[in-house]
Structure 1
């Protein structure tokens, strides 16, 4: 089941200030606390409120959530810590919030201890107000899927970002030629918003390179399987092959066997620094699936005059008497 929007849970708009978030949180804490609300779902709703407030009251987590939603929070934000391990869901309420909301409620008219709850029963000793120092916004992390050819040749991809006000911004991200799967690119100044005059953070994009139908790579070398017939393998041939840019004719010498790699220097991937790899054609000899009786006889006759390639193998002596 999809999770509810954190702003909706707290009943605030997406541009709500920290003061508005605190007020909404305190109102819901008072409403849903089990000593006030006896409904069966009060505890679960309380945990939901705490999870939403924990994220939105933290500038880094809020920026991550605003950009990527629940998927950007990772598995660690799947539930509020207070709801696990048998602990009370209200055990993580800030002491100042608890005192502000429930101070009079538990002291009562007679000034006693009430139901036995107090701010001292919560972690921490309260917080002292202090002037906020300029703070750089958080770096946001995201995966960007790109094609094999974009990674090899270089290019650009469009990244869509959601603003705090619900607007969408499109950014063209330049992909350098020759990047590897798992490489990280930085988009400066597009991460979490800085606070108290601090600079905005960056977005770190981890590249996920997709496969290609016939190319594969080893570093900057580009590899491709090239099937040839037994006649071409025996007599040699020339084949035209597609490259990243244009094409080239490869000469396959007579007697070429399967698994042989034929190299074309400098025809592989060229990175952003101008360093080029090679193109390697990996030969695969493909035998015929069907032969006429005449062809079978011809091949059999040729075979009797050819040297047995297995005679040179060390293990062939095992079968000699």
Structure 2
């Protein structure tokens, strides 16, 4: 065999240039894929978005930006197993930064492991906030609002763990109380913080204090959200995007409101949820349950909502056996719709939105 010809400086430069060009093309390709994935998500084309995310991951399996975006999509689609795998890879690649992955891991794990992930996320958030505070020293400009909200929500999650998975811990009540206070201190404008406080006080049987906390939570978001739904807030955005509480958080809030017998407020929250997505069994069930609890003239409403819950459950193949059994139990107790002319007829159901439309028509 002959010797391999040694590359000249010119050839080395060309080779380096080609590698750089290839790397740039790859980076652009990944950015393009992520951009297309985001567009698909905005258009609710989740299957196409997932295909694009998988393509980006094949190109650069250790790209933190790709891992972050794709894991978020998988969480939104309910694929917690695959999302967990990507989040754990992110921790291996960047253990000391990126608080979001730790907060997501906290959601996907249980008990002490979940608390550990949230604690790491809180540690990174506090460090980032301190850095921002130092940079902003002497400036009147406020910064870090998003970080404060994320920190507050992380404390909320930790408080909730001590009300559920870790409720049997010896210091559970003290820990929960401390995390509730920290969540409020981190962001006093976060309605979730006061909702968690209300739930904590409810667990302690402090009903009046719980009602006050729940009202503070509602005051921070519900009036504006109602105005947006009615189109009364000039230049407003989509109410789904503007609302500071997630759909599931509002469902949980409605449950607390029902337990506190704040029925009007619960009805308003649940009506908004139905308008946002009428394919969620829990929301129809809760509307039926609260109208059942009100009794009397509300029994017709209860029957209507529970029948809707049953219908949607069949359509989406709902598998919560206990909730389905309770729906059937309540419907059996309420009985069939009375004949027309009886005390409770088919026209007895009037939704809150229909009442408002009738009032507006009368004013005109």
TM-score by length of 1: 0.20
Higher helix share: 2
TM-score by length of 2: 0.18
Q: Highest relative contact order (Cα 8 Å, sep 6+), 1 or 2?
A: 1
Q: Which has the larger radius of gyration?
A: 1
